[in-house]
A and B are shown apart, each in its own frame.
Chain A
Amino acid sequence: MSTLHTVNKSPFERNSLDTCLTVAATDSTVLMYEDGVAGALQNTSASSAISDAMGQGVKFAVLGEDLDARGLSSDRVMDGISVVDYAGFVQLAADHDNVQSWL
């Protein structure tokens, strides 16, 4: 059973990304959007936890519109994290068996 986890707060503000990563299983995807996009940037204190989860088969995505709205270039996003638009967000929700919003 695959799950799309959605995280909308920065890992430097709340611990929702960390909490999410404790339960995100293989074949699940974590989508970072709104202020959560900060977690997708390279070389932050969140990066190693994300790399570890990638090693366990968790996939990652970030919402491009929310990167743009914050002046963050997609060049700064960690390797292995795919940048999606709203249509891609919808597709991710459809492709997984269920969705967990980490609010």
Chain B
Amino acid sequence: MKFSIQVNEGPYTHQAADTAYQFTKAALENGHEIFRVFFYHDGVNNGTMYGVPPQDDRNVQSLWSELAEQHELDLVVCVAAAQRRGIMDEDESKRHGKGASNIAPGFRISGLGQLIEAGIESDRLMVFGD
């Protein structure tokens, strides 16, 4: 079955980012397809590469990047939500005259159309948030 995942909450907030990750991982392990993971609202904070949690804690951002690499996941960060929260790729950073980009490996920045498409193309859209 084809799933898409919407993540509305950042890491280390409550539990939604962790649940979304665990659900995505379990779906893949059980032979399902993940069409897209869409990060919206504070969920865009899952897509920064500059998170450095203590070594004995999980690194939610890198877990997503690793899962994306293993399974060629499409991790999409909402552009408007990302701009507000300072999540930028190279192009966005240049366009806004900022010094550096911080989007984590495996993530890309795009628009809400990607969420709509995920809803249309997938059998189920799972929403995780606060």
The interface of chain A, by Cβ under 8 A from chain B, is 8, 33-35, 65-66, 85-87, 89-91, 93-94, 98-99, 101, 103
Given contacts A33-B19, A34-B15, A99-B125, contact A90 B130 (CB under 8 A): no
With beta carbons under 8 angstroms apart, the residue of B3, B25, B124, B129 that contacts A103 is B129
With beta carbons under 8 angstroms apart, the residue of A33, A87, A89 that contacts B29 is A87
A34 to B128, CA, bound (A): 11
Q: Ordered nearest first, which 6 A-B pairs have the shortest CB separation?
A: A86-B26, A101-B127, A103-B129, A34-B15, A90-B27, A94-B1
Determine whether B22 belongs to the interface, using a CB cutoff of 8 Å to chain A.
Answer: yes
Interface size classification for chain B: 20 to 34
With beta carbons under 8 angstroms apart, the residue of B8, B32, B125, B127 that contacts A90 is B32
**Interface residues of A: mostly helix, strand, loop or mixed?**
helix
CB distance from A49 to the nearest CB of B (A): 23
Contacts of A99 in B (CB 8 A): 124-127
Q: What would be 16 A-B contacts, judged by CB atoms less than 8 Å apart?
A: A34-B19, A35-B14, A35-B15, A65-B22, A66-B15, A86-B22, A87-B30, A90-B3, A90-B26, A90-B32, A91-B30, A94-B32, A94-B124, A98-B124, A101-B126, A103-B129
Chain B CB within 10 A, most for which of A86, A99, A103: A86
Closest to B123 in A: A94
Closest to B32 in A: A90
- Once the chains bind, are A8 and B30 in contact (CB under 8 Å)? no
Contacts of A90 in B (CB 8 A): 3, 23, 26-27, 30, 32
